[in-house]
Amino acid sequence: MNASIVRAFGAWKNTGALLPPVPASPPRPRPRVLLVDRPGSVQSTVVSGRPGPAVSDADWYDVLVANTVYADAFGSRLVKNIREEKGYTYSPLRRFLYAPRREPSPDAGRRP
């Protein structure tokens, strides 16, 4: 595998140039709710967001591990509670966006 990587990327040279800092996200004026009404639809999705941790935060990996245990894996506590025990939805999840700055991080639930 290492040989394949060297063949594919070996000619790339490090220029030493750093990427510019990512600018801060603009503030949102106020929370909002967007509803798309689709009568007769057999499925619905609910998505919410809030500022989440930045990749550069010291506890980023701790947060990812905790999120996986509680909400982002099929065997997570969220799936066990919302899907298996209550039967509300087939695929509840909680996920962090991978961003270099604090960004809204969507949560979604789908009801067939």
pLDDT given for residue 112 in this prediction: 47
Segment among 44-48, 82-86, 108-112 with least mean pLDDT? 108-112
Q: Considering its fold, how many domains does the chain have in total?
A: 1
Tell whether 6 is covered by a domain.
no
Q: What is the pLDDT of residues 91-103, one digit of tens each?
A: 777 776 665 555 5
User: Residue 73 domain-assigned?
Assistant: yes
- In this structure, the dihedral spanned by the alpha carbons of residues 106, 88, 63 and 51, taken in order and rounded to 10 degrees, is 30
Domain range spanning residue 102?
A: 53-112
H/E element, 82 = none
Nearest CA among 97, 94, 96 for reference residue 109: 94
Least confident of 3-7, 24-28, 97-101: 97-101
Q: Is residue 77 part of a domain?
A: yes
Whether residue 105 is predicted with pLDDT greater than 60 in this model: the reply is no
Q: What is the pLDDT of residues 34-77, one digit of tens each?
A: 888 888 887 777 777 777 777 778 888 888 888 888 887 788 88
* pLDDT computed for residue 101 by the predictor: 53
Structure tokens at 38: 């689709």
- The structure's pTM equals 0.48
Asked whether residue 29 is assigned to any structural domain, the reply reads no
